[in-house]
Amino acid sequence: MSSQTTLFAHRLTLIPLESEHAADAARLHMIGQPGSFLTGLGADVLKVVYQQLPRSPVGFGFAAVDPAQPHELLGFVSATTSVGALFFEMGTRRLPAFAPPLLRRFCQSPSLALRAVQTVAYPLLHPTTSDGVTPAELLSIMVRPEVRGGGLGALLVRALEAECQRRYITAIDVTVAAANDGAQRFYVRHGFAYKQSFTLYGQPMHLYRADIAAR
Ligand SMILES: CC(C)(COP(=O)(O)OP(=O)(O)OC[C@H]1O[C@@H](n2cnc3c(N)ncnc32)[C@H](O)[C@@H]1OP(=O)(O)O)[C@@H](O)C(=O)NCCC(=O)NCCS
């Protein structure tokens, strides 16, 4: 058994994702998704994303920490019960929090502004299914590189599923870059099935869904 497993068995705790985790979550996001649009927006913008998400009534998640160092994230998962409501909230009453770091970033790189419009339109671009299911959306899952492969990602997904079941949500969607083979293997192992493909930021994306009603 690896020392990582021992670490998880004895010293790991999962707690709700809070605004105070934002700086670390932003850092893990930058490391975990190099080259993605959100990472391109920079740590300051991502920090606001992770500050605001837990404050939203439709945002939630879990942080994995060593209880001895509760402010240092080993990993986290973030989710929303409604992508549309979340993006609307972020683009309206929470916009003042985003405006300063976003404007600074757009001045440095104006092309990012156009892609930001796509992000706001994401709920419209996102394929919808007409099967009557209202899924939660897994927005991001990130584990510190040095502890990947030790089962932490699995724990985070299970915690998310349990929380969704507690909220009577029957499915979880996740959008993943088509090029991210490792993440797709990970999702399939956890019961996610490929649904469809679409394009976001000019990149092919795959939508996966886990049916959690029957588990
Ligand atoms: C995907 C991720 C959260 C999984 O966390 P984890 O703690 O390593 O997950 P587990 O230990 O429970 O499971 C390991 C499995 O994750 C997958 N995986 C994906 N990327 C991996 C990586 N860099 N290292 C190890 N496993 C990875 C593999 O399927 C692996 O199983 P395998 O080695 O048998 O193929 C983690 O690898 C990560 O943070 N990746 C970067 C961010 C990312 O791509 N997130 C998903 C898109 S939002």
Q: CATH number for the domain including 16? A: 3.40.630.30
Q: How far is the CA of 137 from the centre of ligand 1 (A)?
A: 18
How high is the pLDDT of residue 129? 60
Per-residue pLDDT tens for 116-155?
777 767 766 666 666 777 899 999 999 999 999 999 999 9
18-30: pLDDT as tens digits: 999 999 999 999 9
CA–centroid distance, 151 to ligand 1, in Å, is 9
Q: Is 150 in the pocket of ligand 1 (CB under 6 A)?
A: yes
Ligand 1 within 6 A of 30 CB?
no
Whether 139 is in the pocket of ligand 1, judged by its Cβ within 6 Å, is: no
Nearest atom, ligand 1, residue 155 CA: 12
Q: How far is the CA of 130 from the centre of ligand 1 (A)?
A: 31
d(CA 58, CA 82): 6
| pTM attached to this predicted model | 0.90
Question: What pLDDT is stored for residue 128 in this prediction?
Answer: 61
User: Domain containing 207: what range?
Assistant: 3-211
Q: 74, 65 in Cβ contact below 8 A? A: yes
Total domains in the fold of the chain: 1
What is the pLDDT at residue 115? 74
Ranges of the chain whose pLDDT falls below 50: 1-6
